[in-house]
């Protein structure tokens, strides 16, 4: 992102942000035919037989999704075909990473993600320092990174123990549909809660405004790497646990650890002077620190609710995440339409922050009801960190 903002400016950052948001949205739709449901079903059935129909489904979603986004003018016309093929490559990659997660092969999953990110960085950096970089250089980096990462996780998935039980295509596809639809409706609604402001800004302003806002948003969301990583491991663990009481105790510890660490990670960024942000990202991004400050309260609450989401998913209670995401999406739509036309980038940040808080508050409330713990039990204690470390060591020893 630093390379993009400095060498492509706010307009380039805005165009790439819109494209990546479109890819993610299409991926979420294609994951209606699998996605997180594959993580839940992999320990139970032979999901490898589902791969061919999921490939076909992903291709259809890539074409139809790009057509819809073009019709709604949510994606610039010159990026439509890139949107189709990059979405398809990313969907294939995601199918196999979800199967790896279902086998609790988190390191293999992370290897694919790391390779993908590093290749984008290295290839685009080569373009930058080799001459005048343009957006097409970034697109080339995405094609290579998505393609190689897909081949890597495909190869890694051929190794390891696989389930032999096979209830047949009809029953298997029905299970994927049942679990996948509930899970992905939540993910789609949640994604729109996080990214709708980008599309609204583009409609009322331009891609330059999108670029300025997206940098502050991305910095804030970097802090989500920690709770999302903790939640991912929790999801794979709970999906393989039979004891709900053990699952609840484990999730409570990790929720507290994740929430406190997220808040602690916020502090250095809050104390960083605003001019440092514009020095790092370029002259177009003098407002970055202010946008980040507006998003901070919502980002902090997400540190708790992200892990809670994975607890519900691991138990197969996807409907709770769906309700939370729909509530967040409704608040996002209303707030963006009220604030963005009048306040621009500032209004988008305020709307997104409030949406984060509303969505997180609902998840925490449902979690307290489901686990029968009190709000005071979410306050982190020293023993929570010690026990969480012990949990990690036990999990690591079984890999």
Handedness of CA 186, 187, 189, 193 (dihedral sign): positive
Contact yes or no for 99/38 (Cβ under 8 A): yes
What is the DSSP code (8-state) at residue 374? -
- Provide the 8-state DSSP code for 182: H
Which residue, among 155, 140, 141, 46, has the nearest Cα to 96 in the 3D structure? 155
| CA 77 – CA 115 distance, rounded (Å) | 30
User: Quick one: pLDDT at residue 178?
Assistant: 59
Predicted pLDDT at 171 = 63
Q: What is the pLDDT of residue 33?
A: 66
Question: For residues 399 and 397, what is the distance between their CA atoms, to the nearest angstrom?
Answer: 6
Residue 33: DSSP 8-state: G
- DSSP assignments along 133-167, one per residue: --HHHHHHHHHHHHHHHHHHHHHHHTSS-------
Query: Over the Cα atoms of the chain, what is R_g?
Result: 21
pLDDT reported for residue 89: 94
> What is the Cα–Cα distance from 275 to 287, expressed in whole angstroms?
9
DSSP 131: S
DSSP H or E run through 209: helix 207-222
Helix/strand/coil for 227: helix
pLDDT of residue 140: 93
**DSSP 8-state symbol, 72:** T
Beta-carbon neighbour count of residue 396 at 10 Å? 10
Judge whether 133 and 124 are in contact, CB under 8 Å.
Answer: yes
Tens of pLDDT, residue by residue, the chain (399 residues): 888 888 888 888 888 888 888 898 888 888 776 666 676 666 666 667 778 888 888 899 999 999 998 888 778 888 899 999 999 999 999 888 888 877 778 788 888 889 999 999 999 999 888 777 888 899 999 999 999 999 998 888 776 665 555 555 566 556 665 555 666 677 777 777 777 888 888 778 877 888 888 888 888 878 888 888 777 777 777 767 666 777 777 778 788 888 888 888 888 888 888 888 888 888 878 888 888 889 889 888 887 788 888 778 777 777 787 888 888 889 989 998 999 888 888 898 899 899 889 988 998 898 888 888 877 877 777 777 777 777 777 766 665
């Amino acid at each position: 992102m630093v390379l993009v903002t400095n060498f492509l400016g706010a307009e380039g950052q805005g165009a790439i942000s819109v494209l990546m948001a479109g890819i993610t949205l299409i991926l979420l739709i294609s994951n209606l035919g699998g996605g997180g449901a594959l993580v839940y079903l992999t320990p139970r059935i032979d999901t490898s037989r589902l791969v061919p129909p999921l490939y076909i489904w992903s291709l259809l979603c890539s074409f139809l999704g790009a057509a819809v986004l073009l019709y709604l003018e949510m994606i610039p016309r010159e990026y439509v075909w890139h949107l189709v093929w990059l979405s398809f490559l990313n969907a294939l990659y995601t199918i196999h990473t979800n199967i790896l997660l279902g086998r609790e092969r988190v390191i293999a999953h992370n290897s694919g993600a790391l390779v993908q990110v590093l290749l984008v960085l290295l290839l685009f950096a080569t373009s930058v320092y080799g001459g005048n970089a343009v957006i097409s250089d970034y697109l080339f980096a995405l094609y290579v990174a998505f393609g190689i990462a897909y081949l890597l996780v495909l190869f890694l998935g051929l190794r390891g123990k696989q389930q032999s039980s096979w209830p047949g295509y009809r029953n298997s596809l029905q299970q994927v549909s049942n679990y996948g639809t509930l899970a992905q409706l939540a993910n789609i609604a949640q994604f729109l809660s996080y990214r709708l402001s980008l599309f609204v800004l583009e409609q009322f302003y331009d891609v330059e405004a999108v670029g300025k806002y997206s940098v502050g948003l991305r910095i804030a969301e970097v802090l989500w790497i920690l709770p999302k990583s903790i939640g991912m491991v929790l999801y794979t663990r709970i999906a393989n646990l039979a004891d709900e009481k053990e699952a609840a105790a484990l999730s409570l510890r990790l929720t507290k650890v994740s929430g406190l660490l997220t808040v602690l990670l916020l502090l250095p960024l809050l104390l960083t002077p605003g001019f440092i942000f514009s020095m790092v990202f370029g002259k177009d991004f003098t407002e970055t620190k202010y946008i980040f400050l507006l998003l901070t309260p919502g980002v902090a609450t997400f540190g708790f609710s992200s892990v809670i989401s994975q607890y519900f998913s691991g138990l197969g209670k996807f409907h709770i995440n769906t309700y939370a995401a729909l509530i967040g999406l409704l608040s996002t739509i209303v707030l963006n339409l009220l604030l963005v036309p009048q306040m621009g980038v500032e209004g988008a940040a305020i709307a997104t922050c409030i949406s984060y808080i509303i969505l997180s508050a609902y998840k925490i409330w449902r979690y307290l009801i489901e686990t029968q713990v009190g709000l005071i039990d979410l306050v982190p204690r020293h023993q929570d960190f010690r026990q969480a470390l012990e949990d990690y060591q036990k999990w690591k020893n079984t890999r």
